[in-house]
Amino acid sequence: MKKINFLLACIIALVVGCYTQTQHPPSEVIEVSEVDLINKEISSNPSAGGRRDRRRGNSFYVDPINGSMDNPGSSDFPWKTLEEVVKNNLIETKDKNGNIINQGSPIHSGDTIVLRSGFHGHVQIKNAFNDRKITVISENGEDPKLAELELISVKNWKFSGLTISPEFSNKAIRTNYIVVLGDNGNQGPTSNVELVNSHIFTSSTPPETLSSGDWKLAKIGVLLGRKATNLRVRNNYIQTTEFGISAAAPGSIVEGNVVTDFSKDGIRLISSNTIVKYNVIKNNYVVNVNHDDGIQGFSYNGVDLTDSSVVGNIILNRDKKGNPYPGELQGIGFFDGPFYDFLLQDNVVMSFTWHGLAIYDSVGGKIQSNFLYTPDEIGNNIGARITLGTKNKGVDIINLLAGNIAHHYLFEESELSKNVLNLDIDDMSEDSQILFMKRLNSMLGFINATYGEVHNKSTKKRINEEFMLNGPSYLFN
């Protein structure tokens, strides 16, 4: 029945002509900045100690420079650090069974914790299930810093506008991850957590000056843990990491992030019902034996992956000069399946190797409107290709491939595949670099309009301006 429904959907789609080559990603509603919305709310919320509005919530303030834990947490008399707020049990919450924890504490579900500039410590929040979301946010114009953020067995939390790096502390972080969302949930699974508009990195040292030894000390940026569901990681700038984002939590969204300067994979997608969309992934450093991927997916422990999407991502081997450890970056690699009902669409990839997009043992997949490119300067007749392969997992490989542009196509099980309306970039009338830059500008324009041309926390553009002005040939001049 699944095969019949899938093939029927393909026929309908072809009738309405949706698999012609697209120049723009699907339309979406452009969202207002969540930082702006919450800061607007802060101005109207009562200060701590005032009358509590259960519908709107109160705002509490934390200031490492001018605050004191003896204060009431108001704007004029703030607490000192977020770590101390948590350790002093100032947040009333519940356990997974609904039993109240820290009853009578000032902070409740629906409240906002406003952070000011300074170091807020090593923050770990455990066993904290809120009825409504508690928001932790930087105050306008402020730059609160954390060494790490670890959330274990929690529900309904949001963190926005933070700078998080282990370099802010002489004390080692607890794990190899700078941010942990929901792993090790012995007190209950984590759900409904957001991390947005933040800057996350191992080191602020220019990555081009780091030694191979420095790179081997790099941490993983963000973990969406396997004991979690419904997480959202949105519009963060993540750099100088081993892996940028590891998405193992089902039902999650990873969107609008920049992952740059990493030594293994940019994003790992190892969960079902997860969306990875409109991220910019670029600049890998080859300092180990890992075969680096912009986005890599695989099943584990015998658990099949189903119904995940990879849409509108930009993956660039590099967008700047000066990398002392250059090497190949595979674009999108899903090698160890099987994968059921995956959507790979509208991705723009510049790869210096054959694997522009590869998916093995895919059942019911839709691979459409992707653009895969390799600069002529790479030579050796290398051109990024789409590979539909198998590792003999015993599944029927039935997929729809339509409206893609690549240098080559490799379908190991072509008799079981639907190959519709794909184009060879080398046979097109325009220069391949011109075609690539058209698609790149179109996708980047959409991402910039949705998430901002300049990342609001790191103050960095999503792609190097010189690269966008001059194209890939800039890298080789």
Three-state SS string over 54-97 comes to CCCCCEEEECCCCCCCCCCCCCCCCECCHHHHHHCCCECEECCC
Distance separating alpha carbons of residues 202 and 223, to the nearest angstrom:
14
Strand intervals (E) in 323-380: 330-336, 339-340, 343-345, 348-350, 355-360, 362-363, 366-368, 371-373
Per-domain residue ranges of the chain: 2-30+198-476
φ/ψ of 265, rounded to 5, equals -110, 150
- First and final C-alpha spacing in the chain: 55
- Mapping DSSP to helix (H, G, I), strand (E, B) and coil, where does residue 347 land? coil
Distance separating alpha carbons of residues 148 and 120, to the nearest angstrom:
10
User: What is the per-residue pLDDT for 376?
Assistant: 92
The tokens describing 345, both together, are 């669409």
- Smallest CA-to-CA distance from 119 within 200, 65, 77, 74 is with 65
User: What is the per-residue pLDDT for 33?
Assistant: 42
Q: Which helix (H) or strand (E) holds 127?
A: strand 122-138
pTM comes to: 0.89
Strand partners, 118: 144
Per-residue pLDDT of the chain (477 residues; tens, 9 = 90+): 444 454 444 433 433 344 334 444 443 433 434 444 444 444 334 444 444 455 569 999 999 999 999 999 999 999 999 999 999 999 999 999 999 999 999 999 999 999 999 999 999 999 999 999 999 999 999 999 999 999 999 999 999 999 999 999 999 999 999 999 998 778 999 999 999 999 999 999 999 999 999 999 999 999 999 999 999 999 999 999 999 999 999 999 999 999 999 999 999 999 999 999 999 999 999 998 788 999 999 988 778 999 999 999 999 999 999 999 998 999 999 998 899 999 999 999 999 999 999 999 999 999 999 999 999 999 888 999 999 888 888 777 788 888 999 999 887 655 445 555 687 887 777 899 999 999 999 999 999 999 999 999 999 999 999 999 999 999 998
User: What is the per-residue pLDDT for 424?
Assistant: 83
- Smallest CA-to-CA distance from 163 within 106, 123, 112 is with 123
318: left (phi over 0), alpha (psi -120 to 50) or beta: beta
Cβ(179)–Cβ(146) below 8 Å = no
DSSP 49: T
The tokens describing 338, both together, are 């099987």
Distance separating alpha carbons of residues 23 and 20, to the nearest angstrom:
10
Q: Which helix (H) or strand (E) holds 406?
A: strand 405-406
C-alpha distances in Å from residue 212, one per residue of 166, 217, 218, 259: 19, 9, 10, 19
What does the angle CA 379 – CA 432 – CA 357 come to, to the nearest 5 degrees? Answer: 75
Distance separating alpha carbons of residues 187 and 168, to the nearest angstrom:
30
The tokens describing 263, both together, are 């030594």
Task: Write 443-449 long-range contacts (CB < 8 A, 24+).
Answer: 443/25, 443/312, 443/314, 443/346, 443/348, 444/280, 444/314, 444/468, 446/24, 446/25, 446/278, 446/312, 447/256, 447/278, 447/280, 447/312, 447/314, 449/30
Distance separating alpha carbons of residues 311 and 8, to the nearest angstrom:
22
- Smallest CA-to-CA distance from 177 within 146, 216, 150 is with 150
C-alpha distances in Å from residue 395, one per residue of 190, 270, 299, 362, 383: 33, 19, 14, 8, 29
Query: CA-based Rg of the chain, rounded to a whole angstrom?
Result: 23
Length of the chain equals 477
User: What is the per-residue pLDDT for 302?
Assistant: 78
Which residues lie below 8 Å from residue 99, measured CB to CB, with a gap of 6+? none
